[in-house]
Amino acid sequence: MKLILFFAITFFSLQTLQAQDTNEVSEAPVLEAKDVDVQPEFPGGIENCYTFFYKNFKKPEVPELIGKIFLGFIVETDGSLTDIRSIKDPGFGTGAEAERVLQLSPKWVPGKKDGKRVRVRYILPIGIHTE
């Protein structure tokens, strides 16, 4: 019985420690892009980002749709993207599709402030034009 109690306490202690570690990351401050020394970056630069995006984006079947999608997200200290949201889009499902594509993104190079990796809120404008 004591052995079972020992394992139960150990298990719950480890779960609590893991939850605290996870919360520390999400509770770290999120800086605006203008406030960091080094901007977060898609691997290979912004042109590679747009190439990746357009390669994976499925355009709606709406003739002559012209507009911009503004995607907001957080680049985490490990380069992963969280809190991906379409801030503004021309409609016809373009915002949801853009969010889907950004979920596929490889990890970014994180932003830095004072030489340390930081969480950065980033806004990515995407131009859309259908024929």
* C-alpha–C-alpha distance, residues 61 and 129, integer Å: 11
pLDDT at position 14, please? Answer: 42
Q: What is the pTM of this model?
A: 0.78
pLDDT at 74: 98
* SS3 assignment, position 121: strand
Lowest mean pLDDT among 1-5, 14-18, 108-112: 14-18
Report, as an integer, the average pLDDT of 2-19: 43
Specify the pLDDT at position 26: 58
Given a cut of 50, whether residue 79 has pLDDT beyond it is yes
Yes or no: say if 111 and 33 are a contact pair by the CB < 8 Å rule: yes
Write the pLDDT tens digit of every residue in 20-77.
444 344 589 999 999 999 999 999 999 999 999 999 999 999 999 999 999 999 999 9
The 10 Å Cβ neighbour count of residue 107 is: 13
* pLDDT tens track for 19-29: 444 434 458 99
**What confidence score (pLDDT) does residue 15 get?**
43
pLDDT more than 70, % of the chain:
80
